[in-house]
Structure 1
Amino acid sequence: MSEKRILIVDAELVKRIDDNRGDLARSEFIDFLIESQLKEKEDGKKQGGVTREEFHQFQEGTKELLRSFLEFFISYGLELGKQPSDSEFEHLTHKLQTLGGSAKVKGS
């Protein structure tokens, strides 16, 4: 049998425990609540929750992918001999610089 201890709690809390515990003893009910809470926290992490670091890595990867697409389409257009209008070229160049500042820029 496990060692027993006394836990002093407010009378209102004891009433809430008694109102909700059903056939369980008070200690069993409190143990059940604690275990449920801990399991919920573990399951919450596994059910699609992401950390800030994971989200940041995803965000940086997406920016890098977009930067690669822009580089490809600019170089592809130039290889075909298509000369983009100055405003269009400036806009794409600005986009590349913006994305290049936040993602690792590869040496050409």
Structure 2
Amino acid sequence: MDDHLTWVPDACTLPTADRPFRMAEFDQLFADHLRGADRVDAQTLDVTLTPASRETVADLTARETECCSFFTFTLSESADELRLRITVPPTQTAVLDGLSERL
């Protein structure tokens, strides 16, 4: 496993070889569309993205939920931004920590 992905939990069913590629997708999303982020609490991260990211976010979060069902992704949008709330249960806060560090 990639040393940078040591926080990925055993509960993740994405094949280990595919994990760096999935993280690269998140990294690209953040590089292209991130406007801001707020760590609300240990279990919640709010990410603000450009509206143009909607299709990418919907696809990526749907695929991520398939392999890491402990994630809850909630999308809301306005004319000028897309908000993605990411929540995890208390047992998975290290995963959210790892994702937050990529912002």
Name the one with the larger helix percent. Answer: 1
Higher RCO structure, 1 or 2 (CA under 8 Å, sep 6+): 2
Name the one with the larger strand percent. Answer: 2
The two structures have a TM-score, normalised by structure 1, of 0.27
